[in-house]
Structure 1
Amino acid sequence: MAALQTLLLLGLLLTARGQRAARRRQPPPPQSALDKVVAQEGLSLDELAGNWFLVGMASRCSYLAEHSHQLEATMVTMTILDGESLAISTFRKLDRVCWEIKQHYLPAQAPGRFLLKDHRKNSKVDMVVGEADPTSFIILYYEEGQKISVKLYGRSSVVGDAVMDKFEQRARAVGLSEDVTYYFPTYGFCESADEFHVLNETKL
């Protein structure tokens, strides 16, 4: 009986050691590209309020690649809610009709980081304000399901070469080359949409 108890105890000890060793061998979860992005420091959210024009976007989105010849001028209006979250309305044309898409980005764990819950796809989108001059441009990073994209917005539809260089450098730093970088029209913007062409994702 004593021998049996000893064998059982030895078996339990070996199992526990094996489990600990397995835990030690498990690699840490991979760090997302967005975790490595440094958010703009010292930025007041109120400075981001107002209209922004989408200048460029770097992304491996297959839809974007297939329809890059049909890109539409896109404008967003940012509103600061409660001093900590962003209400963003995106205005763009679809089949020559102006649409408005409303989204609400909640504050994340650190300044300059936000979270959008996409109820339609039961997923989330992380956003980081990477670099900004509130009077001129803003570079935003987005990540959904390990897929990252970078967008450049300007206070006007045309920005200077230095800003374009910043954007392209930022995109390359997260593995997005010029081959997957697209630029948007500088004219033909929508500034509003009628009540029948509003997609309010904040209520989904």
Structure 2
Amino acid sequence: MTGGSRCMLGVLVLLCLCLLVPTEAVGGAKSRPKPQRRPPKKPKVNPIDSTPPSQNIDIQQMTGKWYLLNTASKCSYLMKHGSKVEPTVMTLTGPNDQTLSVSTKTRHNHQCWEILQQYHLTSTPGKLTLKGARPELNTDIVIGETDYTSYAVLFYQKHGKITVKLYSRSVDDLSETMLTKFEQLAEKHGMGLAYLFPFPNYSHCGDVDQHHKINCVPTC
């Protein structure tokens, strides 16, 4: 009986030891959790791509004169000289041969300058391109919203940086509702009040002293 008890006690001790020892794979290597695959990176979306025209823009109704009232931008030039911006007026003519002629009049060094450009139409109504010397220097433009007769909001993107501009058909201030809506649009793109630069709505250029025909300019 004593021998049998000792044998049973030995079996129980071995069983307990087996339960306490961590399980090992064949060959003595400890099992490891399988490495988890990293989730695929989301494709990078340009800000301009996430800002489609809010309506089927009729480019013909966009032609004519537009006064620049406000700009939202992180442009370094505006950050330094935003308090000294000059009255600016843009005139759109065309379209002709899939391009829109753009004349921008403003002051520089106390002289009236006219900047002449060509915006190229795309297959999407309301989306335009100002071509640079190389494709990577192009400026993408979206007419985000307009009623054609009083206001228009335009988005400009170059090198992944975006600028939003509010234009008016007249030099009179727009309604408070429209100005608030513009501020909200700017905020959506990470530009709060510190990045808003109102433009003068008086003393616009008539006759110009300098004409400049250029293909690309900074978005601000």
Structure 2 length normalisation: TM-score? 0.75
Whole-Å Cα distance in 2 between the matches of residues 30 and 159 of structure 1? 36
CA contact (8 A) 1:100 1:192 kept: no
Aligned to 1:174: 189
Q: Give 1:104 shift.
A: 0.7
Whole-Å Cα distance in 1 between the matches of residues 200 and 107 of structure 2? 12
Whole-Å Cα distance in 1 between the matches of residues 48 and 134 of structure 2? 23
The alignment status of 1:151 with 2:165, answered yes or no, reads: yes
Whole-Å Cα distance in 2 between the matches of residues 155 and 83 of structure 1? 25
Structure 1 length normalisation: TM-score? 0.80
Gaps of 5+ in 2: 1-36
Choose which of 200, 203, 209 in structure 2 pairs with 1:188. 203
Aligned to 2:68: 54
Q: Give 1:50 shift.
A: 0.8
Change (3 A) 1:37 1:56: same
The alignment status of 1:45 with 2:59, answered yes or no, reads: yes
Gaps of 5+ in 1: 1-21
CA-based RMSD of the aligned residues comes to 2.3
Aligned to 2:121: 107
Whole-Å Cα distance in 2 between the matches of residues 192 and 39 of structure 1? 34
Q: Give 1:48 shift.
A: 0.8
Whole-Å Cα distance in 1 between the matches of residues 205 and 96 of structure 2? 27
Whole-Å Cα distance in 2 between the matches of residues 159 and 191 of structure 1? 23
Task: Decide which moves more: 118-127 or 49-58.
Answer: 118-127
CA contact (8 A) 1:45 1:83 kept: no
Encode CA deviations 1:43-100: one digit per residue, 9 max, x unaligned: 3111111110000000000111100121100001011223743211100000110000
Percent identical pairs in the alignment equals 33
The alignment status of 1:199 with 2:212, answered yes or no, reads: yes
Q: Which runs of 4+ in 1 moved over 6 A?
A: none
Aligned to 1:64: 78
Q: Which has the larger radius of gyration?
A: 2
Could you say what secondary structure the match of 2:56 adopts? Answer: coil
